[in-house]
């Protein structure tokens, strides 16, 4: 069990500033997912927690205690890397046992822990095999077992599934979620895949260029984005963002919030004439690209597959599905009533003209 806190953390590599004044709390026992584009600093954050790439300045606390001066092996954290290095000459058992031997854990205790962990990750039948005799997913489990057997307070995982094919990846995702339920320890899981983040995390930390853009549960990050970056990073296709007027305000709505119909519907706040320019059948849903009269483009994701390229329709969105953003890309929420209402009025007026 452990809570992790970053307080005014800075990290530079030479003159390159990767993280500046980061303040972030990862709650105890949660499945935390760090997600963001390549190079945003995810691995850097994990390495700081693990103690293998210290912060340039600031504090990192583990359960309220500053860990800056605690060596990596004594922090109670275990890390599983993207390219998990398991020793090819050792059996599965020896691979799992290795770290325990190094830490002088007595033999009886080692055996107890190995059989417990092997059971949890489903490696019992394979303990005497060499890694070359295992599938990719089984090897991945060896790497996990090696971390688990240390009984850490915190699990750090850096894209641990990226070497697996799509099917195995999906299976391992749910195994990891299951594992977290069983262990109830703090997980910090890194991925650049927003689908994986949404599927696995109970707390998502969305990062861009060393900054936390939003920290929330999956429902909130999807339905109530703090900024344009969050609205567009989470969800496929991304949230539509349209310009409105000259002050830099923007309006956003998800492709799945769009209604298309032959004539205007009641209760829709945003209405535009639009022509379908592409149509992509996804199965249960169909993706349409539409061209508005002012030249802007909109994606729509609908259950209705009967529309065709060239159809001219009313594109509409209701008020609850509209997000407003200021010139900096930050959300203008309803609780800033004056600005919000002014923007809403502007949208309504734009329908009539
Ligand atoms: N040892 C280093 N020396 C110089 N720059 C580094 C070093 N390690 C990382 N960086 C830079 O720091 C930034 C963050 O790197 P980091 O590895 O944390 O990104 P990431 O979010 O894990 O990306 P990815 O999804 O590609 O793994 C990048 O711009 C990277 O080039
Ligand atoms: Mg990385």
Residue with CA nearest ligand 1 atom 27: 38
pLDDT value of residue 83:
67
| CATH class as words, domain 4-228 | alpha beta
As a whole number of Å, the end-to-end CA separation of the chain is: 59
pLDDT value of residue 148:
87
Which option is the CATH number for 236-352: 2.60.40.10, 3.20.20.60, 1.10.3720.10, 2.40.50.140?
Answer: 2.40.50.140
Under 8 Å between Cβ of 253 and 332: no
Mutational pocket test of ligand 1: of 11, 12, 19, 42, the residue with most ligand atoms within 8 Å of the beta carbon: 42
Beta-sheet strands, E only, within the chain:
4-13, 16-26, 31-35, 57-62, 65-66, 77-80, 154-158, 186-191, 203-208, 211-216, 240-243, 250-253, 259-261, 270-281, 286-292, 297-302, 312-317, 323-325, 331-332
State the ligand closest to the CA atom of 36: 1
Average predicted confidence (pLDDT) for the chain: 92
pLDDT value of residue 111:
95
Name the pairing type of β-strands 77-80 and 154-158: parallel
Residue with CA nearest ligand 1 atom 10: 13
Per-residue pLDDT tens for 6-42?
A: 999 999 999 999 999 999 999 999 999 999 999 999 9
Instruction: Output the pTM of the full model.
Output: 0.91
Domain extent listing, the chain: 4-228, 236-352
| Ligand 1 cavity residues, CB under 6 Å | 13, 16, 18, 38-44, 192
What residues contact residue 251 under an 8 Å CB cut-off, 6+ apart?
241, 242, 244, 270, 322, 323, 324, 325, 343, 347
Per-residue pLDDT tens for 321-350?
A: 999 999 999 999 998 888 899 999 998 888
Under 8 Å between Cβ of 324 and 331: yes
The atom of ligand 1 lying closest to the CA of 14 is: 4
Q: What is the DSSP string of 191-218?
A: ES-HHHHHHH-SEEEEEETTEEEEEE-H
Question: Are both 4-228 and 236-352 of the same fold?
Answer: no
């Amino acid at each position: 069990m452990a809570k992790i806190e970053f307080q005014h953390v800075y990290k530079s590599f030479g003159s390159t500033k990767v993280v500046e004044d980061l303040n972030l709390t990862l709650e105890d026992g949660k499945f935390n997912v760090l997600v963001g584009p390549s190079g945003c600093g995810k691995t850097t954050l994990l390495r700081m927690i693990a103690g293998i790439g210290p912060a340039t300045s600031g504090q990192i606390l583990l359960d309220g205690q500053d860990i800056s001066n605690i060596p990596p092996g004594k922090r109670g954290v275990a890390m599983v890397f993207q390219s998990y290095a398991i020793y090819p000459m050792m059996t599965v058992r020896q691979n799992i046992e290795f770290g325990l031997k190094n830490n002088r854990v007595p033999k009886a205790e080692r055996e107890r822990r190995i059989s417990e962990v092997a059971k949890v990750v489903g490696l019992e039948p394979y303990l005497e095999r060499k890694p070359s005799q295992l599938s990719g997913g089984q090897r991945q489990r060896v790497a996990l077992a090696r971390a688990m057997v240390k009984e850490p307070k915190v699990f750090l995982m850096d894209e641990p599934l990226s070497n697996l094919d799509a099917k195995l990846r999906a299976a391992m995702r749910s195994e990891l979620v299951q594992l977290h339920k069983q262990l109830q320890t703090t997980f910090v899981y890194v991925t650049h895949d927003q689908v994986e983040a949404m599927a696995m995390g109970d707390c998502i930390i969305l990062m861009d260029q060393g900054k936390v853009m939003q920290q929330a549960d999956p429902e909130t990050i999807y339905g109530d984005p703090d900024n344009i970056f969050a609205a567009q990073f989470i969800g496929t296709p991304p949230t539509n963002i349209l310009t409105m007027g000259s002050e830099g305000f923007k309006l956003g709505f998800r492709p799945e919030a769009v209604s298309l119909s032959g004539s205007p519907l009641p209760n829709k706040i945003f209405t535009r004439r639009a022509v379908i320019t592409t149509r992509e059948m996804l199965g249960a849903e169909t993706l349409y690209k539409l061209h508005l009269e002012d030249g802007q483009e909109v994606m729509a994701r609908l259950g209705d597959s009967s529309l065709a390229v060239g159809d001219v329709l009313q594109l509409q969105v209701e008020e609850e599905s509209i997000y407003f953003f200021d010139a900096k890309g930050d959300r203008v929420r309803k609780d800033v009533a004056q600005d919000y209402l002014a923007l809403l009025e502007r949208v309504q007026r734009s329908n009539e003209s």
